[in-house]
Structure 1
Amino acid sequence: MNKKKSFLSIWRKKYSPPIFLLGLLTLLCLSKSYAQETKIKVTITLKNSDLPTAIEQLRKETDVNFYYSKEELKNHKIKAAKFTGRPLVEIVQELLKGTNLEIMERDNSISIRAKQAKTESLRSNNLQTRAQVKTVNATVLDEDGLKLERVTVSAKPQANFSTSTDQNGMFILKLPDTVTELTFSLVGYKSLSLSVASIQASEYIHLKREQSDLEEVVVVGYGAQKKQSLVGAVETIKPSELKTTSSSFTSSFAGKIAGVVAVQKSGEPGADGANFWIRGVSSFAGNINPLIILDGVEINMQILNSIPPEVIDQFSVLKDATATALFGTRGANGVLVITTKSGKNLERMNINVRLEGGTSSHTQKMKMVDGVTYMNMFNEAIKAREINGNYKPRFTQDKIDGTAQGLNADIFPNVNWYETLFKPYTHNENVNVNVTGGASKLNYFVNGSFFNENGLFNTIEKRYKNNINHRRYNLQSNVSANLTSTTTLGVKVNAIFRELYGPEVSSNNLYYSTLTASPIAFPLTFPALNGEDYTLFGTASGPYAQGYYPNPYADLVKGYQETFNTTTLGIVDLNQKLDFILPGLKFKALASFNNYSNTRVSRSFKPHYFAVDKWSINKDGVYDYTLASMGEPGQTALSTSSGAGGERKFNYQLSMDYSVSLQNRHNINAMVLYHQNQYNNNMPGNSLLAVLPQREQGLAGRLTYNYQDTYFTEFNFGYNGSENFKKGNRFGFFPSIAAGYIVSNESFFKDWNETVSLLKVRGSYGLVGNDRINARFPYITNVDLNSKGYTFGYDFNNTLSGPNVTLLGNEDAQWEIGRKANVGFELGIKNEFTLVADVFREDRSNIFMQRRIIPSHLGLGAILPYANIGKVRNQGLDFTLDYHTKLSDDFNISTRGTFTYVVNKLLDRDEPQQKEPYLSEIGLPLNSIRGLVAEGLFSSIEEINGWAKSTYEPDIRPGDIKYKDLNGDNVIDDNDKMVIGNPTIPQMIYGFGMSLVYRKLGVSFNFQGAGNSSLMMGDIHPFDKNEHNVMQFIGDNYWQESNPDVHALYPRLDNEANAHNRQSSTFWLRDASFIRLKDVELSYNFRMFRLYLAATNLFRISSFKNWDPELGGGSGLSYPLQRTARFGVQFNFN
């Protein structure tokens, strides 16, 4: 039968190659060289000053980087001079006349250093005869892996042997055996001394830029600041620390970022992103997700999960009010700020390639009992609940014996559905290529990636592919052009194409039905007895709406669904220096457009279901049977359904920034920004609200001051408005203030600086808002003019249609308000050990919720009004520990640990007065579990008769759960339920890892842990009317008449839902704490490439064994997390 090609396959073949060819053509166009920026002509007037001051003035005027040592330049004075249209290099050379200094041009930079005396590699042939000569060669790179030219390489202890690296960063030195150490130095980089032996072993030398951690620039809200000037709680992490084997970037967050609480609830390809919250949850009604900013523009979780780590330049988490107040009504839940990489002024373009392949499997297999055990337990469950000796087993002994002996798989099936429908492992591939380059007028960074991952469904039928397949194509293109010496234009494009192919039935439903299906009711399929050209799917008569059992295998293969979505984010920004108006003044304009489109096509057929009707054994011992068709006749033809959706967003920003330093002591920065956003639904349908765009606008401002880089203050504000609220009540003002003090920069602290390299304290307080209250136009009362109206008459048999109020509006509705306070402490020891710790508290008020204290007799029913009355307090601490040291020339070690502890409690939820104090939610954590307190299992009828009576089930027997009567009314009911255990969201998240590098060999690992969290097992119970299978842990340890263990893990069996035993209670409550080896990597560096072997989720330590506790409560029957192993190679060309 000829099959039509899908739209997606046609798209891949026809359009994928042109897109990548277009990207390659773009790179070739961008690789055009321009004149060096250092050759530009400059007009400038210099006053009497020292040389560093003059150089700094030139840097600001030309935007050219200068590298020099202040110690070498500070004693050189210059006289006032005016230069008109002179090349920059000539001006610098003019300033250096009469000094012992020289310049060196490299890329878009000028280095100034003391003149070097010429040396020779070997002074004479006599030396060669006196000592054995050895050749040393290597390549010198910077922290980004780019080759460094003109690095001075000198020998120790004989300094007369020296050379410098060539344009490829390479050097060759012939040395006598007496030379044991080489020193590498380059202006703007930290000098490095290494043993000759280690150099010969490593082949690569890496120099670090001469910039302390405090001088590092950190991205914050609407800008960037030096790390030492930060007074807010901002957590940064290197993008390389967030590597992930998953297609979802957020799956790498847990345990690596202090202040971030992250949990991963699924391992399904394409849907395995983590849920994460910054400093926990502070609202029970409104939006609790953090704001995500990419290159200055708000994005959604799908874009975040699709970002390859290779494109990220900086990654910051803004946690307190000072860091987030700029975002006003959007900043209450914290802000995640990401900037992508930009191009560099290089002589040659730099190309990085990563190729990776691997396998994945479930971290834990859910084990179910076999068919014989299932039948015996089912019969036992019926007998355990028999009344007056009226026992009728569900399965005959012949059925049990036939299944145990494996007489005939069609008549006596014993199906292991898990092993049949799931493969043990699957394969994944990942390719990433990026190109960095540029020249004086134009630079670029372009990244392309392809990610392919597969699910673990085992498709036996080959008519079409039913396994999950997720493919993602990414293109990130960042181009920046220097239009003039003061004007820069940037264009960034992020394009994401996702194909998701899988079964027509959702994977979670398939996983659930696979593990709950009866193992003995029917086989997967029957053989074609009469030459049928279609599959005969097995089933049996059963207590389902359709009259027969669902077949998990039929659900898997009966159809498929393919989804294709595209996301395109374009950003254009213009930066203009306004020094001609006021030195230090800058202007920036930004505009962005984000479009998301989604199409879905589902195709399926109606399976042919059959069940064994009659069977017999002939004289040869062969089983004969006939089949009966079940339900409506099946169909082989595919039916089709489809859908589409999409959205688009616009963002505009205008800002002014001013920086000034007075007397090199008083440093001031001010920024004010206007922003405006608009959201449109591309497929609004007939919904009036969906047709209307959603709009926001506001102002943001920041003022910072520091004195001698020691005393710091900062004021921020956000003034935001939303059309979601009534006119006159749409704008809110959210200010914050903060201060910091670097004690270690004080003159009196100099004696301790060698040991204590950093000692800093800071604090902040401010207001933030949350206007995402899950209600559109809550101030408008909704009236349905076509409702059924009202019922009248003596017998209530007369209904008149008319208007009906469906929602009462609240004209005073507004955003949530968070009042945040933070105190931070930073400590550095010998520039090796760093501790950053914060203690925080937030009081969230104005939570928009439906009233609860209005009595029902007022007649409002389901339309109780909403109001801003909820209150929650959230507090805790988080800290990060870093330790980096060099144990020898060959051995480097670095460690990192994070810890986050967050506790919230409900302060107000408009709660009516409760009968008992423990029934109240006030003062207790959000996401708490409420249930009965179990005190074991009943051991005898006498004990049951002397206990409080259950309202859930009248027939209580030995082996049933014994509950505590909390209120002493001699009745067990919902009034005996209290908050039990810990919240479902962990209150504690921690992680620690280590990286060891010995010469070319590297090893790294990271652990992730969660604590103070509970889960409630539910929907795990076997049998019932649907005759569900039995989980192995139940079959291993349950209460039996023959073994009446009151400490058994499962109570007395029942074949129908026993409401008493299935109440939420401490009997089913489990500790969800765990610690897992999240990732480990072994790597080896060669001259031109790097090989690595890595794995994730290798093992887990937890007291809960039934399923992965990170999946949470319920039955655990959802797509599990994945254990991966992968092999990769990375290349670098330039």
Structure 2
Amino acid sequence: MKHKLLTFLVGSAIVTSVAFAQEKKITGRIISATGEAVANATVIVQGSKTATISDKNGYYSISAPSEGKLIIRSIGFEEKILTIGENLSYNITLNTLNSNVDEVVIIGYGTGSTLGTTVGSAVRVGSEDIKGKPTANALEALSGKVPGLQVFTSSGEPSATQSIRLDGVGSLGASSTPLLVLDGIPVGIGSIVSMNPEDFENITVLKDASSTSIYGSRAANGVIYFTTKKGRIGERAIITTRVQYGWNDLASRKPARSFMNSSELLNFWVETGYRTQAQADSIRQRFPHDTKWDEFYYRKNVPMKQADLNISGGSEKTQYYLSVGYLDQEGVMFRSGFDRITLRANINSKLNKWISVGLNLGGGYDRRETNGWGSNNSNGGLSLFAPPFYSPYNEDGEEYYDETIPGLGRYNPRYLADKQPSKGKNQQFNPNAFIQVQPFQGLTLRSQAGMDYFNYNITSNRLPSFIPNLGKGTTSETYQLGVSRTITNTIEYKWDIQNLHNFVALAGHEYSDYNYKDFGASGGGLTVDKLILLSSTTLDRNVSQSKYAYAYNSFFGRATYNYDTRYFFDATLRQDESSRFGKNNKKANFWSIGGKWNVTKENFFKDVTWINDLNLRASTGTQGNSAIDNYESLSTVSPSIYDNASAWAISSPGNPYLAWEKQYKTTVGLSTTLFKRINLDVEYFYRVTKNMLLSVPYPYSTGYNQITENIGGLTNRGVNIDFSVDVLKGKDYYFTPYVKLGVVNQKVTELFDNKNYWVVPNTSVSYVVGRPVEFFAPIQAGVNPENGLMQWYVPGSDISKTNKDPNNVTSEFSSTALQQSTGIKRYPPFNGGFGFSSGYKGFFVNADFTFSNGKYLINNDKYFFANPYQFAGNNQMREILDYWKKPGDVTKYPKYGQVNQFDTGILENASFLRLKGLSVGYNLPKYLLAKQKFFTGAKVYYTGRNLFTATKYTGPDPEVDSNLTYGRNPNTKQSVFGIELLF
């Protein structure tokens, strides 16, 4: 009691003395030893609760007593104490803890370490690259930002998720998506869509064995670690609010402009004899229009809105971060949209000198609609089939709504969407909590538990008033619920000997499980729009239900050592047990070893002034892949009806010998800084997949068509390059261009049944030993100029080898007899990005480009849009006008009357360059805000996404990540204006 009273009196005396001391306003700028601005540095008045943080350009302002002291802290820098004198302005230079600005990074459990002392290969994307993006998904912020990481957005739906691959495709049968971890808890890729990107402090991509092997079973494809924002030390709360408003449009309308206009189409019909001149003239007279159908089916300038508010702050013992966000983004197609509300509360508290606790609560509610007329549907993917001389507007300029468009015979897509609504509602909850105990210096005990939960409801209706099915309404309801739980316990001990030998030992246990269930019901016979409940249905009632579960149990350990921050070594070991594998193969062990040499710490390097930093690193180890269906190892049955009675049938034979797919990865890298301006990181990787989880085909006579087995092998090797230059760097200006490149060479090394090749049915893709995954299809040899018939190369005796013998061609098409390896890679070998960040006295311009080279797609849309005889009466691409008419013509397309086939004529180069992001803005200077005490910072800006696309691909969108694409909702572009205020 006496101790508490004494503490209170001393504290009161300090607060009172500060309150009555003469205060003055202190301003200045915080920079690093290299002259760069230090943003978000904490400035505290010693002995008080008064604190502030520096802005993006390093400027700060704080009221402090005369002759007082300021404490300046920032992650990666040495703490500095400044004594206040007579001056009112102090520029402060912070020294880095190491030669580089080191940020604390979590690489596989524990309390974390700085990037400079980490052996593993890790790339961090900070909040400045994440926030303010006009997209619902934070994963897109990684596009072109991490060498070797391929991020493709394959749809223009606002709720779409990205496809992600790191250092190539690691498996031909299991998933190649990296493990996603949120504040230490694994989450699904769909969960990221339901989270607010503004809540992420950074995203770290763990790439090599040293950084991923401790995640063992699910780290075969790398790990992406999301860190949410936390409060900062200092009692004063920092309030940030941001409002954005903008518009959506197709990323490119160039593909739509490649179709014929009314005059060209009618002339073509007359020329080919499909219509007589009199018939064409009659059509012109009756329908004197030239409609751009893409502007009707794919709306222009569709609005999007976003608003965010967050509050962060704290004292020396407790820090907090609170946020709320709202996003409303309509899609360019009808019945396409996404609106989301998110809440987050992160609280960390140090209860006393040896116990800390934390609670992160993240949740959201969103509503999403996706267009249901994709695929080969004339109301969606094939909407551009519509001849341009028809019009969706009557003589008064009003849309035909509940009647078919004259001549065309289609209903308005708005009417289809209104009368056939389908809405999904999702509840997302991602809580996690920890307690951390430090009984004495160096020893840390930590227990953490978290959950990834979603509850998704889909309601789909066909209203009874829908004219084509008048009085025959239908409804369906589907409920999906999934919850993943993870509990992790670790013990970590850090110690050193004479500040030269530094050790860290970590051991831990983790348990994770996932449970999923769904329930659906549907029915028909509805007659009134207002009575569309399931209970009102009278016909075709149906019920469905399913559920599944899986679990992991793991033990792991890690040991690290460094000598004088010069030589670094680490080793990890993990044992995983999975419910997905056979009884005797559930467990597997994974390991890694790695080392790094900080050459600049050597005595012989001290006189080399132009090399500021030089590190060599290497690691090797194993990871596992278990991303298959949950019951592949078990013999399963399914219910059926036989002779009007319930029956059971064997649905899967199972495979009790099914075991882990294993990957081995070796990485060698170099990172350096030259002349304090040039930054370069180069790494070589070699990735080997063995015991591949592959669906092996079986004769139908066995009763099954395929069984999952451990068979086959695959290798990926390549180089990743990260390069940037501080071309301009001064107090009020900067210009830093960058290039990030990933190159990968893939090779299949083994297949099942000692086969040399295998053609995957219905995919036009083949696996050939010694080659990468390739497209497999009949190869066009061009149009015969004498008779106007298309020709194809006749395959050789080995169809796994490409044969283009000009003396061995045929005009008789057979999809089976003519198929052969095209020699064209399925997966693009070159991916990356480049751009720059720049600024001058508060103004800033940042541009980010992404590219993919060597990317190919089967443009199935072109099978319809460049096939005038097969689909006569519909509009076609203008390029089909280059068709054969008379002997001697050298043309791209055969004579009219021959059907264009499914061959390499629709296999197109989909390499692309895209301006993925552009930001232009202005940070209001401090002197404009100095006269008021309400705002502490303000920024106005413009942000654009997918503003420019360069490609030779003739389809709707080259970014689609697939072997074949048809009827896709194409990627969109956004233009957004925003304002950000700090209080």
Check whether TM > 0.5: yes
- In structure 2, the residue corresponding to 1:669 is in which secondary structure? strand
1:758 — aligned with what? 613
| Superposed displacement of residue 165, structure 1 | 8.2
For each residue in 1:833-862, what CA deviation from the matched residue of structure 2 results, as whole angstroms up to 9, or x when unmatched? 22111101111011122335x6x4x93253
| Superposed displacement of residue 334, structure 1 | 0.7
1:265-284 paired onto structure 2 within 5 Å: 265-271=154-160, 273-284=161-172
Query: What is the alpha-carbon distance in structure 2 between the residues aligned to residue 401 and residue 935 of structure 1?
Result: 38
2:460 — aligned with what? 602
2:676 — aligned with what? 831
For each residue in 1:39-98, what CA deviation from the matched residue of structure 2 results, as whole angstroms up to 9, or x when unmatched? 999xxxxxxxxxxxxxxxxxxxxxxxxxxxxxxxxxxxxxxxxxxx999999xx9xxxxx
1:44 — aligned with what? none
Distance 1:369 1:484, change over 3 A: same
Q: Which amino acid aligns with 1:893?
A: F
Distance 1:1119 1:859, change over 3 A: closer
1:779 — aligned with what? 633
1:872-951 paired onto structure 2 within 5 Å: 872-884=714-726, 887-910=729-752, 921-923=767-769, 927-941=773-787
User: Identical aligned pairs, as a percentage?
Assistant: 21
2:470 — aligned with what? 634
Distance 1:685 1:561, change over 3 A: closer
Counterpart check, 1:1081 vs 2:931: no
Q: Which amino acid aligns with 2:916?
A: K
Contact 1:782/1:806 (8 A) holds in 2: yes
For each residue in 1:516-543, what CA deviation from the matched residue of structure 2 results, as whole angstroms up to 9, or x when unmatched? 2345678678999xxxx993324779xx
Q: Which amino acid aligns with 1:1064?
A: D
Q: Which moved more, 1:507-516 or 1:565-574?
A: 507-516
Distance 1:1129 1:145, change over 3 A: farther
For each residue in 1:284-340, what CA deviation from the matched residue of structure 2 results, as whole angstroms up to 9, or x when unmatched? 111111100000001111222344343222321111122111111111111101111
2:437 — aligned with what? 576
1:357 — aligned with what? 245
1:793 — aligned with what? none
For each residue in 1:202-252, what CA deviation from the matched residue of structure 2 results, as whole angstroms up to 9, or x when unmatched? x99786664442643222111322222222222222231234211122223
Counterpart selection for 1:250 from 139, 142, 148: 139
Counterpart check, 1:693 vs 2:549: yes
- In structure 2, the residue corresponding to 1:724 is in which secondary structure? coil
Contact 2:422/2:460 (8 A) holds in 1: yes
1:1124 — aligned with what? 974
Query: What is the alpha-carbon distance in structure 1 between the residues aligned to residue 362 and residue 416 of structure 2?
Result: 37
Q: Which amino acid aligns with 1:1096?
A: R
1:479-490 paired onto structure 2 within 5 Å: 479-490=347-358
Q: Which has the larger radius of gyration?
A: 1
Counterpart check, 1:1046 vs 2:926: no
Counterpart selection for 1:221 from 108, 111, 119: 108
- Segments of 5+ residues of structure 1 without an aligned counterpart are 1-38, 42-84, 94-104, 107-120, 122-134, 152-163, 172-183, 193-198, 384-392, 458-465, 542-547, 610-631, 790-798, 952-961
Distance 1:688 1:848, change over 3 A: farther
Distance 1:947 1:638, change over 3 A: closer
- Segments of 5+ residues of structure 2 without an aligned counterpart are 19-23, 32-36, 47-58, 81-86, 522-542, 797-802, 927-936
- In structure 2, the residue corresponding to 1:1110 is in which secondary structure? coil
Counterpart check, 1:726 vs 2:582: yes
1:44-55 paired onto structure 2 within 5 Å: none
1:4-153 paired onto structure 2 within 5 Å: 143-145=38-40, 148=43
Distance 1:549 1:999, change over 3 A: closer
| Superposed displacement of residue 416, structure 1 | 4.1
Contact 1:994/1:1004 (8 A) holds in 2: yes
| Superposed displacement of residue 379, structure 1 | 5.5
Query: What is the alpha-carbon distance in structure 2 between the residues aligned to residue 656 and residue 916 of structure 1?
Result: 49
- In structure 2, the residue corresponding to 1:1019 is in which secondary structure? helix
Contact 1:874/1:904 (8 A) holds in 2: yes
Contact 1:444/1:480 (8 A) holds in 2: yes
Counterpart selection for 1:710 from 566, 583, 605: 566
1:644 — aligned with what? 479
Q: Which amino acid aligns with 1:574?
A: I
For each residue in 1:339-361, what CA deviation from the matched residue of structure 2 results, as whole angstroms up to 9, or x when unmatched? 11211221311111111111221
Distance 1:187 1:863, change over 3 A: closer
Counterpart selection for 2:380 from 511, 523, 534: 511
1:114-513 paired onto structure 2 within 5 Å: 143-145=38-40, 148=43, 167-168=62-63, 210-212=96-98, 213=100, 215-223=102-110, 224-243=112-131, 244-271=133-160, 273-365=161-253, 366-367=256-257, 368-378=259-269, 380=271, 383=273, 393=274, 395-405=275-285, 407=286, 409=287, 416-457=292-333, 467-501=335-369, 505=373, 509=377, 510-513=379-382
Number of corresponding residues? 890
- In structure 2, the residue corresponding to 1:511 is in which secondary structure? coil
Distance 1:380 1:847, change over 3 A: farther
2:836 — aligned with what? 994
| Superposed displacement of residue 551, structure 1 | 6.3
Query: What is the alpha-carbon distance in structure 1 between the residues aligned to residue 683 and residue 326 of structure 2?
Result: 39
Contact 1:149/1:166 (8 A) holds in 2: no
Contact 2:779/2:793 (8 A) holds in 1: no
Query: What is the alpha-carbon distance in structure 1 between the residues aligned to residue 248 and residue 446 of structure 2?
Result: 46
For each residue in 1:13-58, what CA deviation from the matched residue of structure 2 results, as whole angstroms up to 9, or x when unmatched? xxxxxxxxxxxxxxxxxxxxxxxxxx999xxxxxxxxxxxxxxxxx
| Superposed displacement of residue 507, structure 1 | 9.4
Query: What is the alpha-carbon distance in structure 2 between the residues aligned to residue 354 and residue 507 of structure 1?
Result: 38
Counterpart selection for 1:767 from 603, 622, 625: 622
Counterpart selection for 2:503 from 668, 674, 687: 668
Query: What is the alpha-carbon distance in structure 1 between the residues aligned to residue 757 and residue 172 of structure 2?
Result: 23
* CA RMSD of superposed structures (Å): 4.3
1:36 — aligned with what? none
Counterpart selection for 2:903 from 1040, 1064, 1079: 1064
- In structure 1, the residue corresponding to 2:404 is in which secondary structure? strand
1:1111 — aligned with what? 960
| Superposed displacement of residue 697, structure 1 | 0.9
| Superposed displacement of residue 692, structure 1 | 4.8
- In structure 2, the residue corresponding to 1:373 is in which secondary structure? helix
Q: Which amino acid aligns with 2:903?
A: S
- In structure 2, the residue corresponding to 1:844 is in which secondary structure? strand
- In structure 2, the residue corresponding to 1:536 is in which secondary structure? coil
Query: What is the alpha-carbon distance in structure 1 between the residues aligned to residue 473 and residue 90 of structure 2?
Result: 60
Query: What is the alpha-carbon distance in structure 2 between the residues aligned to residue 1107 and residue 691 of structure 1?
Result: 37
Counterpart check, 1:845 vs 2:845: no
Contact 1:190/1:207 (8 A) holds in 2: no
Contact 2:786/2:888 (8 A) holds in 1: no
| Superposed displacement of residue 1119, structure 1 | 1.9
2:530 — aligned with what? none
| Superposed displacement of residue 1098, structure 1 | 2.5
Query: What is the alpha-carbon distance in structure 1 between the residues aligned to residue 570 and residue 451 of structure 2?
Result: 32
Query: What is the alpha-carbon distance in structure 2 between the residues aligned to residue 634 and residue 327 of structure 1?
Result: 56
Distance 1:684 1:225, change over 3 A: farther
| Superposed displacement of residue 596, structure 1 | 0.5
1:76 — aligned with what? none
Distance 1:689 1:887, change over 3 A: same
User: TM-score of the superposition, structure 1-length normalised?
Assistant: 0.71
Contact 1:711/1:742 (8 A) holds in 2: yes
1:860 — aligned with what? 702
Contact 1:705/1:712 (8 A) holds in 2: yes
Contact 2:795/2:820 (8 A) holds in 1: no
Contact 1:518/1:1027 (8 A) holds in 2: no
Contact 2:169/2:176 (8 A) holds in 1: yes
Query: What is the alpha-carbon distance in structure 2 between the residues aligned to residue 441 and residue 653 of structure 1?
Result: 24
Contact 1:650/1:678 (8 A) holds in 2: yes
- In structure 2, the residue corresponding to 1:1111 is in which secondary structure? coil
Counterpart selection for 1:561 from 412, 422, 431: 422
Query: What is the alpha-carbon distance in structure 2 between the residues aligned to residue 140 and residue 761 of structure 1?
Result: 31
Distance 1:720 1:87, change over 3 A: farther
Distance 1:313 1:840, change over 3 A: same
